Amino acid sequence: MPPAAPASTAIPVWGAPTPTRSPLTGDRQADVVIVGAGYTGLWTAYYLLQEEPSLNIVILDRESVGFGASGRNGGWCSAIFPISLEHVAKATSRSSATRLQQAMNDTVTEVARVVGAEDIDCDLAHDGFIALARNRAQLARVDAHRAAADAFGLPGQWRVLSRDEAAKLVDADRVLGATFTEHCAVVHPGKLVRGLADLVERRGAQIHENTPVQFIGAGYVDTPHGRVRAPHVVRATEGYTPSLPGQRRSLVPLYSLVLATEPLPPSRLTELGLRHRTAFNDLRNLRVYGQVTADGRIVFGGRGAPYHFNSAVSPTFDTHRRIHQRIHQTLLSFFPSLSDVRITHRWGGPLGVPRDWHPSVGLDRSTGNAWAGPYVGDGVATSNLAARILRNLILQRDEPLNDLPIVNHRSPLWEPEPLRWLGVNAGLVAAGLGDIEERLTGRPSRISGALERLTGAH
């Protein structure tokens, strides 16, 4: 086995989010105040200022730009929506579900467009995403994914690949086939969030770090340093939302954990079939995700870390020895020859999960208060879509995006404790057991099927 990484590697490979901007000082009046300096808040400021350059926008963050999921994720900018189109259609209509997927597809292109137009150096590569089938049960999902997309009038959303075709993109172990979609890019998340912050500041937005928001009211927010009043308040707090008054049960913060290898030479990446920066995973139930960075590292992460009682969030949860070891072993199951490669970074962070796993964005016109998220781990792209919708709602622009099923969607509250703790952690255990069941039987798991029917997650 490679030598252990030093203890300091809880810092993301994307860089340590550290405050560089001054806190708020005193009361302030603004046109829009945004709580949270991550992707949602920064994209919202960007699109508002693009439309109305004279707007006075104040952005507040308890920590620093990109401290949360925006600076800790695995770098996928994908068109994945966390619940199936079938579940979206049941709640709305098949045409609404189709339009939502098309909007997600377009959002990947929009992020790439802005990054190019605004010269944001974030190592973006729009090389698609491959989902490998590495046992018979996963192979059955390959055809199911394509059939589901075809049924919603989205032919070509997923392209089925043979084992040999898959190996040309990712030469992982025990691959039987795969699906591929072009609707995914990979980025350096830290560079993207910091680049967006610099961009909106140049456009006139004011960002204050080390400024915790204690209360969001109708047309104002309170902080220890003063009150900011504005006709519109945007809550963009993702996995940290339960810390706000009245929001304890609105979502659960689930931790996703990630690791990164030392940089690999091009010859070594070629041996692994990783000649392109195509995002990759396999079709297991307990999700994993990988990419190759611009400097040749493999970044690989996954779910499975426990939910903490009463929606607790703490830096001490950013690493979990057993789960990080499991993620490393999963990476080695993809690429056994990496056993001599050093892991240089291990980190993690919370992502927000609503009770129905359904992301949302909306505006309460009676108060002027707006919100976006949570995104269930797929926020790099979805935050951009949500920000454009928030721009439309705040500026009263009439666009087709405003009719998407995420707009003004209201998720039910999570159960009170200890039911929440028991239910969430039981679901995580069940997803892991479903993967074991599939490896043993070669058939899609009944356990996982029941979970999908219950939550809509896929």
Rounded Cα gap, residues 437 and 453, in angstroms: 18
pLDDT for the residue 437: 83
Query: Residues 290, 279: contact at Cβ < 8 Å?
Result: yes
Angle between the 379-395 and 39-51 helix axes, to the nearest 10 degrees?
Answer: 40
Q: Is 413 inside a domain boundary?
A: yes
Cα distances (angstroms) measured from residue 387 to each of 39, 231, 235, 400: 9, 17, 11, 14
What pLDDT shows up at residue 19? 92
Query: What is the chain's alpha carbon radius of gyration, rounded to the nearest angstrom?
Result: 21
Which pair of tokens denotes residue 161? Answer: 């690949």
Q: Which residue segment(s) compose the domain that 92 sits in?
A: 7-455
Residue 2 lies in a domain: no
On whether residue 318 sits in a domain, the answer given is yes
pLDDT value, residue 179:
97
Tens of pLDDT, residues 318-373: 999 999 999 999 999 999 999 999 999 999 999 999 999 999 999 999 999 999 99
CA distance linking residue 178 with residue 162, whole number of Å: 7
- Can you say how many angstroms the Cα of residue 379 is from the centroid of all Cα atoms in its chain? 3
Report the pLDDT value the prediction gives residue 1, as an integer from 0 to 100. 41
Tell me the two tokens of residue 100.
Answer: 């939502």
Q: What is the pLDDT of residue 443?
A: 82
pLDDT at site 199: 98
CA distance 395 to 254: 33
Contact 5, 341 (CB under 8 A): no
Q: Determine, yes or no, domain membership for 282.
A: yes
Tell how far CA 207 is from the center of its chain.
23
Residue 97 domain-assigned? yes
Q: Which amino acid, 291?
A: Q
Give me the amino acid identity at 141.
R
Q: How far apart, in whole angstroms, are the C-alpha atoms of residue 352 and residue 36?
A: 14
Q: Are 263 and 345 in contact (CB under 8 A)?
A: no
The pLDDT of residue 8 = 41
The pLDDT of residue 450? 65
Q: How far apart are CA 329 and CA 121, in angstroms?
A: 32
Which of these, 130, 235, 112, lies nearest to 172 by C-alpha position?
130
pLDDT of residue 438: 83
Residue 439 has a pLDDT of 84
pLDDT at 237: 98
209-226 burial, b at 16+ Cβ within 10 Å, e below that, comes to bbbbbeebeeebbebebe
Q: Which of 349, 354, 351 is nearest to 249 (CA)?
A: 354
- Look at the chain and count its residues: 458
CATH number, domain with residue 396: 3.50.50.60
Is the bond leading into 418 cis (omega within 30 degrees of zero)?
A: yes
Q: Is residue 1 part of a domain?
A: no
User: What single letter denotes the amino acid at residue 284?
Assistant: R
| Whole-number pLDDT of residue 3 | 41
Q: Which two tokens stand for residue 415?
A: 């159960």
CA distance 379 to 385: 9
What is the layout of strands, in order, in the sheet containing 226-229?
28-29, 226-229, 220-223, 215-217
C-alpha dist (Å) from residue 76 to 204, 212, 328, 379, 429: 29, 28, 19, 9, 25
Instruction: Compute CA distances 265 → 12, 278, 331, whole Å.
Output: 21, 17, 18
Bridge partners for 457 per DSSP: 83
Number of structural domains the chain divides into: 1
pLDDT, position 441: 86
pLDDT tens, position by position, 8-64: 458 999 998 889 999 999 999 999 999 999 999 999 999 999 999 999 999 999 999
Point out the residues of the chain with pLDDT beneath 50. 1-8
User: Whole-model pTM?
Assistant: 0.95
